Structure 1
Amino acid sequence: MIRDALPEDAEPIRLFLAANGWAHRVQDAQRFAQLLQQSQRTAVCVDDGTVIGFARGITDELSNGYLSMVVVASGHRRQGVGRGLVEHVTRGGADITWVLRAGRDGAAEFFAALGFEPSLVAMERCRRGS
């Protein structure tokens, strides 16, 4: 089942992310809870009480959106979970241009199947430190 993430989901989602390649970004539980709270759009997929997927987006709800995370447990990939998470976060607002970073293996192909296209105009200033 895919739904909006709730505040009480913060720790199960954080543990899920840590177990699925994002430990370097979710070490601090309080900071992660704040990150979740400040995300305008979230999606969590829960199967039999266990988090198996998570996505979050940041948007002004009018023109621009950034799809920040899409993570699916390896045993649940290629079953529509990732697609459902992305569709949940980017739903509505046909006037919103959504951008993302697709640097992980297979990410470009996955997002292309959802209508994303490579951009020649995007630039980024990376975070310092971690």
Structure 2
Amino acid sequence: MQVRCIAASDVDAVHRLLVTGGWAHRVGDVQDLGRLISASQRVMVAVADDEIIGFARAITDGISNGYVSMVIVAEQHRRRGIGQALVERLMGSEPNITWVLRAGRTGAAEFFAKLGFSASSTAMERSRR
């Protein structure tokens, strides 16, 4: 398994992964996904046997703040460290960045806690309409 930056040729496969994994409401069509990717500073894919099996994206200023927006691993490849590898690659080694995320999906809070995240009483949210 390899974690690498996304390539333009990966977008269709990533879209299929996201739709299959229950993210269709967040990504729209392939063109919408392309716009999401273009607006993100860090976008990674996990590849095994020439197949996209994981995807993650983040928005960050690279100095102080970062937001992990999406992390998904194909169901049959979960619990093998792929999600962890994606998140670690997204965040990099900058020690001064405070990373935040929404952990609303089942199991997300426990997954991210293993990566050093903890619940915060200081975050606020304005939900989509």
Asked if TM exceeds 0.5, the reply is yes
Partner of 1:100: 101
RMSD: 0.9
Identity, % of aligned pairs? 54
Q: Distance in 1 between matches of 2:41 and 2:69?
A: 11
Q: Distance in 2 between matches of 1:7 and 1:58?
A: 18
Partner of 2:86: 85
Question: 1:1-130 maps to which residues of 2 (within 5 A)?
Answer: 1-128=2-129
- Checking the alignment, whether the CA contact within 8 Å between 1:43 and 1:54 is kept in structure 2 is yes
Structure 1: tracts of 5 or more residues without a match: none
User: Please, what TM-score do these two structures have when normalized by structure 2?
Assistant: 0.95
Q: Distance in 1 between matches of 2:113 and 2:26?
A: 25
- Checking the alignment, whether the CA contact within 8 Å between 1:11 and 1:33 is kept in structure 2 is no
Q: Distance in 2 between matches of 1:30 and 1:106?
A: 29
Q: Distance in 1 between matches of 2:17 and 2:3?
A: 15
List structure 1 runs of 4+ shifted beyond 2 angstroms.
Answer: none
For residue 103 of structure 1, report the CA deviation from its aligned partner.
Answer: 1.0
Q: Distance in 2 between matches of 1:120 and 1:89?
A: 24
Structure 2: tracts of 5 or more residues without a match: none
Q: Distance in 2 between matches of 1:79 and 1:124?
A: 32
